[in-house]
Structures are given as C-alpha cells and as structure tokens.
Structure 1
Amino acid sequence: YRDRILAYYQQTLNQFCQHGTISGCLTVKLSAEVCDLSEDMRSAMDKGARGVIDLLSQALENGRENHCLTFCGEPLQQAQVLYALWLGANLQAKISRSFEPLENALAHVKNIIATPAV
C-alpha cells in the first residue's frame, strides 16, 4: 500500500518534470475562485476531494493492517494531511513553475508513511 500511495505522488512529480505542467487537476486550478462563486461547484469539488481522501484513508488503513506501512494517528486524519500537503505543493509548483515543491512534499510523504522496522 505504501508503494501505491508513493506511486500516485511520484506520477504527478514525473509529469511536472517532463512537461512542466500538472494536467487534470481542477481542484488546484479553480478551487479558491469557484468555491466562493458557486455552491454547486463547491459541493462537487468537496465531493471529489472527499473521494480522494477516502481512498487514501482506506489505503493507509489497509497498509497498517497488513503491516506494510506505519504512521502516527488515525488513517482519515493522515489522509487529510497528505491530501492538503499535496494540494499545496501542486499549487506552489504551478506558481513557481518548479518541481521542488512536489519533490519536497514527496520526501515528506515518505517520512509520514514509513516502512515498518523489521
């Protein structure tokens, strides 16, 4: 499960390094503007974000149960942190046109969800 989560983040980093952009993420592009203007769009974006967070939470919970990864706290709380970290890194990468925010966020994600000591 840890490898799957890291692959999700690594794919975005690779895409940015190869193309200089992150495509397909309306949450990063529109969230601040749209959420203030349209309750329907805010609700739709919230539903999508909750879906991603739920998937992350389930992966964290399954990984912990299968002793594939370890982390502090509850899966849902950690999933919310991981999502917020990555959302912020995506936004900063767009603003700076640099891969460094994504690279730094990925390094932090690797620390948050560690491989259990054997």
Structure 2
Amino acid sequence: MNTPRTDVRQHILDTAKPIILGKGFSVVGLNEVLKAAAVPKGSFYHYFKSKELFGEALLEDYFAGYLAAVDVVLKNQDIPAAKRLMRYWQGWLPERPGEGVQCQCLAAKLGGEVSDLSEAMRLALQHGTDSIIARLADCMREGIIDGSLPADLDADHCALTLYQMWLGATLLTKMRRDMSALESAMLATRKMLKL
C-alpha cells in the first residue's frame, strides 16, 4: 500500500519540527531528520528540492497550525475580546509552574538564525508573524466594540508592540532560563490593555 505524497511530506515536517526546535535549523542535518522519519534521502528530494525549501515549508506548516490554534482562541465570540487576548498571552507561559522554559515557538527559535541565510525563510517568518499580529489587532478592535478594551486603544500599534515584546521575552527566557521576562511581559500587557 502506497502512502499518499502529502502524508509522507507531512510526516517529514512533523518529525523535523521537534528536532529543529531543540537544536536549530543550521545544526540539524537532513540525515538526522530522514533517519528519525524513516524516509530515504531520494524521497526527501522528491518532496523538497533543497534544505532551504524544506525550511520554508517547515515554517509555512508551523504557521498554518499555529494560526489555526490562534483562531480558536481569538475568534470565540462567546467570550469578551479582552479575555480572549489574555488567554492567548497565557498560552505563551508553561502550563505548570516549574516546567521547563524550552521554547516551542519556531519563529523565536529560527528568526535570528535563518533570516540572514535564506530570503525565502525570512519571508515565511515575516508573513507568519504579520498574520499573528493582524489577528491580535482584529481581536483588539472587537474588544473596543464590546467594551472590554479601552475605546482609545490603537489596535494595530498595540498588537505589534505586544507581539514584539512577547517574542523578545521568549528569547530572554531562553537566555535566562527563568520566567522573569514572560512574567514582566504579562504585567506590561495587562497595563497596556488597561486590564
């Protein structure tokens, strides 16, 4: 029985994601990914013509899944928009106190690493993060309408500022190996949203 092309391609991407989250893109060789996925090298090149195109596909796949999860949180019209936004930011924190601070965000993990190496990957990162920021701004505009956020809030500016702050806090968390940057980001977020 043959596995459909998209299933094998997706299997490679799904297998590679935790490896690359752990080690980075440049350090991980294709052989490591292919061995973990149990896929021959020739088959890999059938799905991805180069490691760079594989990296671009990995980022596109990551953001597609991430944005779908973001939509579940931010587009739930049964909950005031401010509460939806805070649930989104809460999702950046480990689920249990004392849990490791390992970064699960491919944008934070690869942003600095690949942006100078690959224009295609840089553009995939930019498109994905721009899409997140747009969703945050839309939710903030809903909060202004439903009264859960201040009427004078500049949604576009606030969404961009908060996302940049949280992305930076994620990087500081990796460096410090503690939660202080994310905790500060949460306090600043509440203050900026006047919650």
Fold-level match, TM-score > 0.5?
Answer: yes
CA distance in 2, matches of 1:71, 1:114: 11
**What does residue 40 of structure 1 align with?**
120
Once the 2 structures are TM-superposed, how far is the Cα of residue 24 of structure 1 from its aligned partner?
3.0
**What does residue 77 of structure 1 align with?**
157
Unaligned residue ranges in structure 2 (runs of 5+): 1-80
Between the aligned residues of both structures, percent identity stands at 31
Unaligned residue ranges in structure 1 (runs of 5+): none
1:98 paired with 2:178, answer yes
Number of positions where the alignment pairs a residue of Structure 1 with one of Structure 2: 115
**What does residue 87 of structure 1 align with?**
167
TM-score normalised according to structure 2 size: 0.55
Distance change in 2, residues 1:20/1:98 (3 Å): same
CA RMSD of aligned residues (A): 1.7
CA distance in 2, matches of 1:26, 1:16: 21
Larger Rg: 2
TM-score normalised according to structure 1 size: 0.88
Ranked by relative contact order (alpha carbons within 8 Å, sequence separation 6 or more), the top structure is: 1
Code of the residue aligned with 1:70 in structure 2: it is P
Once the 2 structures are TM-superposed, how far is the Cα of residue 26 of structure 1 from its aligned partner?
1.0
Contact 1:15 1:22 in 2 (8 A): no
Contact 1:12 1:22 in 2 (8 A): no
Code of the residue aligned with 2:169 in structure 1: it is A
- Between Structure 1 and Structure 2, the one with more helix by share is 1
**What does residue 54 of structure 1 align with?**
134
Contact 1:61 1:75 in 2 (8 A): yes
